[in-house]
Each structure stands twice: as C-alpha cells, then as structure tokens.
Amino acid sequence: MQDRIIGHFGASIETKTLSAEELPPYIEQAAQLMVDALLHGGKILSCGNGGSAGDSQHFSSELLNRFERERPSLPAIALTTDTSTLTSIANDYSYNEVFSKQIRALGNQGDILLAISTSGNSANVVQAIQAAHERDMIVVALSGKDGGHISSLLTGADVEIRVPADVTARIQEVHLLVIHCLCDLIDCALFGED
C-alpha cells in the first residue's frame, strides 16, 4: 500500500514539474485578464463539477475573503453553491443548463468566467462557456487531457490552461496550484508585491 502512496506522490510531482515547464505563460495571461476585469469593475464567475465544483468555490472564497494577506474583498461568485437554483434548473430544464442560466442572469460584459473541467467535456461547462460568450465575457478555462470540446469553443480572447496529464486526480492537483498562482498574481498586481 505504501508503494501505491509513493506512486501517487511521484506521479503528482511529475505532473507538476511538466506543468511548471508549460503553463506559466498561460497562467500569467489569465491573471492579467482577471486583473483587468477587476480594475474595470468586473467580477469572476466560476463553475465545474465534482472536485472542480470544490475548486471553483475555493477560488471564489479566496477572492471574496482573502488569500495570504490582508486586503479588500474582491468580487467573485461560484455558480456551484445555490442548491435551490441548481436543483430547479436541473429539474425543470436540464442539468446541462445549471451554470448557463445563472450566467445569463449574472454575467456582464467585462466579467470573466473561470470554467473548470479535467476532461473539457462536461456539457454544463460547455454551455456555460457558450452563455459567457453571448454575454461578451472572457473565459479562462482550466482543462486537461486533450482539452475536449471546451478547447474547440475558446476564442483568441480567452485563455486555456491545459494540464499536460490524462489522470483526473493529477489534473485536479495542478488546477488547485494554478488557482493559488492566480490568487497570488492578482494580489501582487492590485496591492503590490509583498
């Protein structure tokens, strides 16, 4: 059993090493888009399923509350938390619309959608991206594997941060690290390097 554990640690380290070689320019671009949106009165909506729902809440709580230092609250909404809204949309329409209907109500031009999917194929995240584009929002996608359907939907104004891995858990582990990088870069840009 300990060999399995050591195997998980080794695979996670390997994925992070590869990601450190490939992802920094995309993470920097994504942070810049988020900083520009926040400086112009925009907000960041986030969504995903399962572990990625947790990631989207993790990110929004770090903006709304704080990351590693004292600073004013920043505007963000996780679209994964309101069970009355989620269940009624899924019940009356379709689970595929649970995020897109919220985006049509809450998303404005200049806001950012942080769309999280390890496969890039979750239908409700795909529809969220389509709704964000209809609202003239920019999309930052955290993906993995071959980028899936999501990657084919993105425009030149969007950014995809695609983790170079095929195992969902390994991709999620890097997604969380990327989220912490984004929070750090946002704090540095808005409040100065500490």
Q: Identify the CA nearest to 176 among candidates 39, 59, 46, 34.
A: 59
Give 42 or 143: the residue with its C-beta nearer to ligand I22: 143
Give 101 or 170: the residue with its C-beta nearer to Zn ion: 170
Give 100 or 119: the residue with its C-beta nearer to Zn ion: 119
Dist CA 62 CA 66 (whole Å)? 5
Instruction: Establish whether 180 is an annotated binding residue.
Output: yes
Dist CA 87 CA 85 (whole Å)? 6
* Residue 15 binds ligand I22 (CB under 6 A): no
Instruction: Establish whether 122 is an annotated binding residue.
Output: yes
Helices (H) and strands (E) in the chain, counts: 8, 5
Q: Identify the CA nearest to 53 among candidates 108, 111, 128, 130.
A: 128
Token output for 59:
């990110």
Which residue of 19, 46, 56, 117 would you call a contact of ligand I22, by CB under 6 A? Answer: 117
Give 38 or 126: the residue with its C-beta nearer to ligand I22: 126
Q: Which of residues 49-78 bind Zn ion (CB under 5 A)?
A: 51
Least distance (Å) between residue 58 CB and Zn ion = 13
Return the HEC string of 13-54: HHHHHHHHHHCHHHHHHHHHHHHHHHHCCCCEEEECCCHHHH
Dist CA 154 CA 77 (whole Å)? 21
Site string for ligand I22, 16-55 (x = CB under 6 A): ---------------------------------xxxx---
Return residues touching Zn ion (CB under 5 A).
51
Binding-site members are 49-51, 58, 62, 91-92, 117-119, 122, 172, 180
Return residues touching ligand I22 (CB under 6 A).
49-52, 117-119, 121-122, 125, 168-169, 172
